[in-house]
Chain A
Amino acid sequence: MRYDVTIIGGGVVGCAIARELSRYRLNTVLLEKESDVGFGTSKSNSGIIHAGHHSNPDTLKGKLEWEGNPLWDDLHRELGFGFKRIGELTVAFNEQEQAVLEKLHWQGEIKGVPGLVLWDRARIRREEPSLSRSIISALYAPTAGVINPYEACFGLAKCARLNALDMHLESPVQSIRAVDDGWEIQTPRETITTRYVINAAGLYADQIAGMAGAKTFSMKLRKGEEYILDKRLDGLVDHIIFPCPTPVSKGILVIPTFDGTIMVGPTAHEVDDPEDLTTSAAGAEEVFLHVRRLVPGISERDCIAEFAGTRAVSTNGDFVIEPSSQKGFINVAGIQSPGLTAAPAIAIRVVNILRDEGLSLSLKDDFMASIPKAVHMAGLPLDEQIRLSTEDHRYGHIICRCEQISEREILDAVEDGARTLDGLKFRTRAGMGRCQGAFCTPRCMQLLAQALDLPLERITKRGNGSWLVCQREQETQHVNG
Chain B
Amino acid sequence: MLTAKPVHLRREYDVVVVGAGPAGMAAALGAQESGAEHILIIDREKEAGGILQQCIHMGFGLHHFGEELTGPEYAQRFLREVYDWGIDVLTDTFVADIDGMRQLKLMSGTHGVHLISAKAVVLAMGARERTRGAIRVPGTRPAGILTAGLAQKFVNMMGYLPGKNVVILGSGDIGLIMARRLTLEGVKVHGVYEIMPHANGLTRNIVQCLHDFNIPLHLSSTVIDIKGKDRVEAVTVAPVDEALQPIMKKKQDIECDTLMLSIGLIPENELSRQLKLRLDPLTGGPIVDSAMETSMNGVFACGNVVHIHDLVDFVTEESFLAGRSAGEEATGQRRPGDNVRLMPGENVAYCVPQTISTDREHTLYLRVRKPLDKSTIRFGDVFERKLRYVFPAETVTVKVTPRLLQNFHGGALRIDVTPR
Contacts and interface: CB of A to CB of B under 8 A. Distances in A.
State yes or no: do A and B come from one complex.
yes
A469 B160 contact: yes
Interface string A350-365: 0000000000000000
Contacts of B133: 228, 303-306, 436
Interface stretch (A59-67, A80-88, A410-418, A454-462): A454-462
Greatest chain A CB density within 10 A among B146, B180, B224, B225 is at B146
B186 A474 contact: yes
A316 interface: no
Contact of A438 (B58, B140, B147): B147
B131 A435 contact: yes
B154 interface: yes
B196 interface: no
Contacts of B270: 402
A144 B283 CA distance: 40
A236 interface: no
A406 B92 CA distance: 12
B11 interface: no
A404 B113 CA distance: 13
Contacts of A460: 143, 230
A281 B224 contact: yes
A461 to B, nearest CB: 4
B128 A438 contact: yes
B161 A466 contact: no
B112 A390 contact: yes
Interface stretch (B101-109, B306-314, B345-353, B365-373): B101-109
A103 B161 CA distance: 59
B1 interface: no
A265 to B, nearest CB: 12
Greatest chain A CB density within 10 A among B110, B160, B163, B185 is at B160
Given A284-B136, A401-B44, A468-B143, A474 B185 contact: yes
A398 B44 contact: yes
B147 A407 contact: no
Contacts of B180: 480-481
Interface in B179-214: 180-181, 184-186, 208
Interface stretch (A106-114, A154-162, A271-279): A271-279
A354 to B, nearest CB: 35
A396 B128 contact: no
A389 B141 CA distance: 36
A401 B97 CA distance: 12
Chain B residues touching A, majority SS = mixed
Interface string B265-296: 00000100100000000000000000000000
A404 B139 contact: no
Nearest to B226: A278
A425 to B, nearest CB: 12
Interface string A415-430: 0000000000000000
Interface in B221-258: 224-226, 229-231
Contact of A472 (B94, B111, B149, B161): B161
Contact of B161 (A275, A437, A465, A469): A469
Interface in A426-481: 434-439, 441-442, 456-457, 460-474, 476-477, 479-481
Nearest to B111: A396
A123 interface: no
Interface string A368-403: 000000000100001001100110011111100110
Nearest to B273: A232
Contact of B230 (A398, A436, A465): A465
Contacts of B154: 442, 469
A213 to B, nearest CB: 29
A275 B185 CA distance: 34
Interface residues of A, number: 65
Given A398-B94, A404-B96, A393 B109 contact: yes
Contacts of B134: 301, 303-304
Given A396-B112, A472-B185, A382 B105 contact: yes
B230 A396 contact: no
Contact of A304 (B96, B131, B139, B146): B131
Contact of A470 (B44, B129, B164): B164
A398 B231 contact: no
A300 B136 contact: yes
Given A303-B134, A466-B230, A456 B143 contact: no
B142 interface: yes
Contacts of A207: none
Contacts of A397: 92, 107-109
A93 interface: no
B231 A407 contact: no
Contacts of A474: 185-186
Contacts of A434: 128
Interface in A148-172: none
Contacts of A465: 230-231
Given A398-B96, A456-B158, A467 B143 contact: yes
A477 B184 CA distance: 6
Given A470-B161, A470-B164, A278 B113 contact: no
A442 B141 contact: no
A315 interface: no
A217 interface: no
A175 interface: no
B337 interface: no
A472 B136 CA distance: 31
A389 B128 contact: no
B216 interface: no
Nearest to B151: A469
Nearest to B232: A466
28 contacts: A275-B229, A277-B141, A278-B226, A279-B138, A279-B139, A281-B136, A284-B138, A303-B134, A306-B133, A306-B136, A389-B112, A393-B108, A396-B109, A398-B44, A402-B270, A439-B128, A441-B146, A460-B143, A462-B143, A466-B142, A469-B161, A469-B162, A473-B186, A476-B184, A476-B185, A479-B184, A480-B57, A480-B58
Q: Which A-B residue pairs are the 5 nearest by beta carbons?
A: A397-B109, A389-B112, A461-B143, A465-B230, A469-B160
Given A279-B141, A474-B185, A481-B180, 18 more contacts: A228-B133, A278-B225, A281-B138, A281-B224, A303-B136, A304-B131, A304-B133, A386-B113, A390-B112, A396-B107, A439-B150, A441-B150, A469-B160, A470-B161, A472-B159, A473-B185, A477-B184, A480-B208
